[in-house]
Amino acid sequence: MKKRWIIASVILLAAAIVAILMYYLDNKKSSEKAPEFVLLYAENQTENYPTTLGGKKFADLVYERTDGRIKIQIKYGAELGSESSVINQMKYGGVAFARVSVSQLAERIPEMNVLLLPYLYDDSAHMWRVLEGDIGDQFLEKAGNYDLVGLSWYDAGARNFYSSDKPITSVEDCEGMNIRVQESTMMADMISALGANPVEIVYSDVYSALEQGIVDAAENNWPSYESMNHYKVAKYYTIDEHVRVPEMQICSEAVWNMLSDSDKEIIKECAEESALYERQLWIQREERSKKKAIESGTLVTALTAEEKKKFRDAMSDVYEKYCGDDMDLVREIIDY
């Protein structure tokens, strides 16, 4: 009898605790203020890709430092459209933030092509010296030429060629190949300079273009090659590091102008912190992606210095064509 009484009391007590807890949580929820701004952030990579995780970090930091007044929703996997379409939507504030490849900004702000010239940087450290210095700041400002605000730089490593049927070991191997390029006239010209046919295809369609043989080859960094499953349909990867195309976190100027000065400062600071985070993730992911691809059958060709020079020489015409007016700046970057 006594035992039953104890069990009943314990049950009653537990029920009371649950009820109090639910009442408390409910009250807390209704007393939490709704955010003043709910803003969309576009990302075309997959959920756990370094840039997507960087974007999430940015959103969390902004939410925390504005006490929940600014909520940023990350839409990854190109849910809001291709990079090009997102940049267009940002002109009117439909999309507030994005992380985009600078090649897509360069289509609208041609001076930006300087940053993605072939074989411009010696290595990653060289590119980061440039981006973190005055030159990098000047280029963030240039985003204003297309009603955008440049917030921070993200890493995207170096791009290499990969092909389906045969490895690319020399410039001659590229002759007549259909090679996918980003929607970028300068990148297309670089491919033509190798005697290949550039085919502009949006990122999300590259896998099927390789699979269906619409293109014979493409070029990208290790994490993109792996995360988009390109390695499953193009197993020859040639390390030539022909370009490093940095990525920029941007904000729509239309949205930016609605924010207070202190919120602008918070956003800028969170973007910069998230960029440092993304750069750490990038280094780890590059290694993991490379390992995964090689374990799955990717065959790597490393170009000899002599061969690499031939690629560099073949592509050098784009310097004059796209950056002829900025050759002093190009030289400054090379010596930086």
Which residues of the chain form contacts with ligand GCU (CB under 6 A)? 44, 83, 101, 156, 182, 203, 220, 224, 247
Q: Please, are residues 174 and 238 in contact by the beta-carbon 8 Å criterion?
A: no
Identity of the residue, 44 or 238, whose beta carbon is nearer to ligand GCU in the bound complex: 44
| Min CB(194)–ligand GCU separation in Å | 17
Task: List, as one string, the DSSP characters of 5-68.
Answer: HHHHHHHHHHHHHHHHHHHHHHHHHHHSPPPSEEEEEE--S-TTSHHHHHHHHHHHHHHHHTTT
Q: What's the closest the beta carbon of residue 144 comes to ligand GCU, in angstroms? A: 21
CA distance linking residue 87 with residue 97, whole number of Å: 9
Nearest distance in Å: CB 312, ligand GCU = 21
Tell me the closest approach of the beta carbon of residue 102 to ligand GCU, in angstroms: 9
Of 86 and 96, CB closest to ligand GCU: 86
Cα separations in angstroms, 243 against 104, 136, 269? 14, 17, 28
Nearer to ligand GCU, 52 or 252 (CB): 52
Q: In terms of Cα–Cα distance, which of 280, 308, 288, 277 is closest to 222?
A: 288
- The least CB distance from residue 101 to ligand GCU, in Å, is 4
Beta bridge partners of 178: 197
CB of 83 to ligand GCU, least distance (A): 5
CB of 196 to ligand GCU, least distance (A): 16
Question: Contact at 8 Å (CB) between 154 and 54?
Answer: yes
How near is the Cβ of 219 to ligand GCU at its closest, in Å?
8
Q: In what order do the strands lie in the sheet with 37-42?
A: 70-75, 37-42, 97-101, 247-252, 148-154
Q: How far is the CB of 43 from ligand GCU (least distance, A)?
A: 8
Amino acid at 16: A
CB < 8 Å & 24+ apart, contacts of 318-325: 318/117, 318/118, 318/186, 318/189, 318/190, 318/193, 319/117, 321/189, 322/110, 322/113, 322/114, 322/117, 322/186, 322/189, 323/113, 323/114, 323/117
The CA distances from residue 130 to 138, 150, 176, 227, 259, in Å, are 11, 16, 35, 28, 30
Q: How far is CA 95 from the centre of its chain?
A: 16
Nearer to ligand GCU, 156 or 193 (CB): 156
